[in-house]
Amino acid sequence: MLTVALPKGELLKNSIRLLQSVGLDFSAFLDSGTRQLQIPDTKGVAKALLVRAHDVPVYVEYGQAQLGVVGYDVLREKQPQVAHLVDLQFGHCRMSVAVKASSSYRSPIDLPAHGRVASKYVNCALEYFHSLDLPVEIVPLYGSVELGPITGMSEAIVDLVSTGRTLRENGLIEIATLYESTARLIAHPLSYRMNTGNLSDVIAKLREAVLVEV
């Protein structure tokens, strides 16, 4: 049976809608009363796992799911051993550097050498500042990273931004974009090569469905 790892949160509704368009119905996950973390589709030909977004590539890499939907931001940060298949064209956001609007920093290179940058995307942040040849200390935060500059713990943050509303409401501004992110379809490499569970047909239908919507 085909298993699909789906992310909790912002990408879930569009992920389910896309899968419904190719005949896989996991809409039971959208029922506010359900606490199930694994459900079969209505035809009984596949099942889905509901997991944290950062865990999607883990389940796919280790073969507990043959397919997964996850943000490009997670793939960039985690660098999992999975097959990158399709840009699904939803979940648009960007990875940005932000600082207090009242600060004098208007470019990342204005930040002080060995200054502190708060982020849950530690690897992406390190890679970016290394590319600028600017040594910084990355402070790992996994909650509201906006508090870093507000409290003075860090000069800047690196975080995922969608509308920018949270930044504005907390007196922060973006000063650089590392990359744009969208939802991606990924697969377990061996399952993909071996066409386990007729995987290629499902992937082809998903590609076609995305092209229709673009």
The Cβ of residue 115 has, within 10 Å, a number of other Cβ atoms equal to 16
Query: Exposed, middle or buried, 92 (CB in 10 Å: 0-12/13-18/19+)?
Result: exposed
Candidate from 32-41, 92-101, 152-161, 169-178 with smallest mean pLDDT: 32-41
Domains of the chain, first to last: 2-92+181-213 (3.40.190.10), 93-180 (3.40.190.10)
| pLDDT band for position 198 (cuts 50, 70, 90) | confident
Q: What is the pTM of this model?
A: 0.92
214 has a pLDDT exceeding 70: no
- The pLDDT of residue 115 is 96
45 has a pLDDT exceeding 90: no
- The pLDDT of residue 35 is 87
- The pLDDT of residue 204 is 95
34 has a pLDDT exceeding 90: no
17 has a pLDDT exceeding 80: yes
In terms of Cα–Cα distance, which of 149, 84, 70 is closest to 115?
A: 149
Under 8 Å between Cβ of 146 and 167: yes
The pLDDT tens digits for 117-176 are 999 999 999 999 999 999 999 999 998 999 999 999 999 999 999 999 999 999 999 999
Q: Mean of the pLDDT values across residues 75-95?
A: 96
